[in-house]
Structure 1
Amino acid sequence: MAESLPFDRVADTYDETRGGERRGREFAAVLAPHLLPGRTLEIGVGTGLVADALNRRHGASAVGVDLSPAMLGHAHARLGARVTVGDARRLPVRTGSVDNAVFVGALHVIVDLAAALAEAARVVRPGGRVVSLTAATERGKGDEFGDLLAGLPGRDRVDTPAAVLAAATAAGLHTLQSGEVTARSFAESPNQLAEIIENRVWSNLWNVDGAVWATTVEPIVQGLRDLPDPDDPRDRRLPFQLSVFGR
């Protein structure tokens, strides 16, 4: 069975290294127009940034579940008792009890797409929605750093648009909307990005062994530092795949 990746190890630094409250607002703004009135379950709620923004800025009634107790400690500060520990493949949620279920950049660490989409379909009421934001097909398109980052280990994702669609279809869901959106925009310098990689901030870098790091990752870091004006921020717009499914 594919295993989900818990984020306990980065819980205390997650917000500051992933865009903080601005990231939550940006993702919530993309999701909100596609959600039905009523209760929304965020599966893989993490520190609660997106669910909190949905509640505060879009009048949603968002609750959340996550595998990591450490991440939920931060989510609890934002959402109170509306969060709980749970595995996306075996949700502690009654069948047909929510109006929407959402995954925000979570399916690639849940890994088992079939189980995750099947559980989302189970807990959503008939007529409800399952919405996901996942990696776009061309992740580096229009990004100055895209060619360099393409060589990083672990960039191959399980949550491709085709794989998500196949899992959703198998779970009995039907597509209402599917397409690429820009869900995040920010400024980042080559040296800032090099430091993020060196500190293994991203989960795909956590378990890279020393030999691969030396031969593959270090040249990418050096390539970033060798770019002109490496301390000058560049505008970055990251594309995501938005998939909206009906139950």
Structure 2
Amino acid sequence: MPESLPFDRVADRYDQTRGGEKRGREVAAVLAPHLVPGRSLEIGVGTGLVSAALVKQHGVPAVGVDLSPAMLTRAHARLGARVAVGDARSLPVRDASVDNALFVAALHAIVDLAAAFTEAHRVVRTGGRVVVLSAPPARDRRDEFAPLLAGLPGSDRLDNPEAVLAAATAAGLRAIEGRQVTVGSLTESPNRLAEIIETRAWSNLWNVDGAVWASTVMPVVRGLRDLPDPDDPRDRPLTFQLSVFERP
């Protein structure tokens, strides 16, 4: 069975490398219109950025589970006792007990899409929603760094729109909507992005061995540092696939 990736190793810098509370508010604003009234469970809640924004800005009763105790320490500071350790493949949640289940840029780390959607189907009530932000069909051409980043290991994401749709419908969910969305932007310089890559802040880089690192990752790092004005920040649009499903 595919193993999920706990994010303990990057918990101390996760928010700083993913856009922080501003990004949480922007993501929540995209998700909120697609939720039915009632409680939402964020599967892979991480540090709680998105669920906290759903609570504060949109009045959504939000709870969350995550595999990483280190990430949940930060989520607890934002959401209190409404978070718990839990594996997306075997949720510590009763059948049909939540109105919405959310996967926010989490499926690539959960890895087992079939199990994740089977569990989401189980815990959501009839008429409830499963709302997903996952990998878009292609990198946003407005992102100056996209051609370089395409050379990194793991660029072919397993949570692509076709795989998400197939896994969700196989689990018994009904597709309501699917489209590409831009959720704000990150402002990063080429040198800062090179540093993020070199410190393996992204999960697709954690298990890259030395030979592959030298042959595929370091050329990307050098390419970023060789760009004109490498210390000048650029705006990078954050593009996702939004998928909305219903439990019939």
- Counterpart in 1 of 2:134? 134
Q: Which amino acid aligns with 1:206?
A: W
1:140 deviates by 4.0
Counterpart of 2:48? 48
Where 2:91 maps in the other structure, the secondary structure is coil
Measured after TM superposition, the shift of residue 5 of structure 1 is 0.4
Alpha-carbon distance between aligned partners in 2 of 1:24 and 1:166, rounded to the nearest angstrom:
28
Alpha-carbon shift at residue 3 of structure 1 (Å): 0.6
1:142 is displaced (CA, Å) by 2.1
Deviation per residue, 1:47-75 (Å, 9 max, x gap): 11100000000110000011111111111
* Residues 185-240 of structure 1, C-alpha deviations (whole Å, 9 max, x = no match): 12211111111111111111111111111111111111111111111111210210
Q: Distance in 2 between matches of 1:108 and 1:186?
A: 20
Mapping of 1:223-234 within 5 angstroms? 223-234=223-234
SS of residue paired to 1:243: strand
Asked if the contact 2:100–2:131 (Cα under 8 Å) also holds between the matched residues in 1, the reply is yes
CA distance in 1, matches of 2:9, 2:145: 27
Q: Is residue 139–residue 238 contact of structure 1 (8 Å, CA) maintained in 2?
A: no
Query: For 1:164-243, what aligned pairs fall within 5 Å after superposition?
Result: 164-243=164-243
Q: Deviation above 3 Å: which 4+ runs of structure 1? A: none
SS of aligned partner of 2:26: helix
Classify the secondary structure of the residue corresponding to 2:47: coil
1:65 paired residue number: 65
- CA-CA distance at 1:184 after TM superposition: 3.1
Letter in 1 for 2:205: L
**Residues 1:244 and 2:208 are matched in the alignment:** no
SS, match of residue 238 in structure 2: strand
Gaps of 5+ in 2: none
What are the equivalent positions in structure 2 for 1:21-170 lying under 5 Å apart?
21-170=21-170
Aligned residues of 1:65 and 1:84 also touching (Cα < 8 A): yes
- Matched residues in 1 for 2:115 and 2:141: separation? 30
Report the 3-state secondary structure (helix = DSSP H, G, I; strand = E; otherwise coil) of the residue aligned with 2:134.
Answer: strand
Kindly state the Cα deviation for residue 154 of structure 1 after the two structures are TM-superposed. Answer: 1.4
Q: Which 10-residue stretch deviates more, 179-188 or 82-91?
A: 179-188
Deviations 1:71-92 (A, max 9, x none): 1111111111101111100001
Q: Give SS of 1:2's match.
A: coil
Q: Separation in 1 of the partners of 2:194 and 2:186?
A: 16
Percent identity reads 75
Q: Please report how far the alpha carbon of residue 108 of structure 1 lies from its aligned counterpart in structure 2 after TM superposition.
A: 0.4
CA contact (8 A) 2:140 2:237 kept: no
Please tell me the residue identity of whatever aligns with 2:189.
S
Counterpart Cα distance in 2 of 1:92 and 1:78: 21
Q: Which residue of 2 aligns with 1:17?
A: 17
32-41 vs 8-17, greater mean Cα deviation: 8-17
Paired residue total: 247
Letter in 2 for 1:97: S
The one-letter amino acid paired with 1:74 is R
Structure 1 residues not aligned, in runs of 5+: none
Structure 1 residue aligned with 2:3: 3
> Residue 47 of structure 1: SS of its match in structure 2?
coil
Equivalents in 2 of 1:140, 1:212: separation in Å?
25
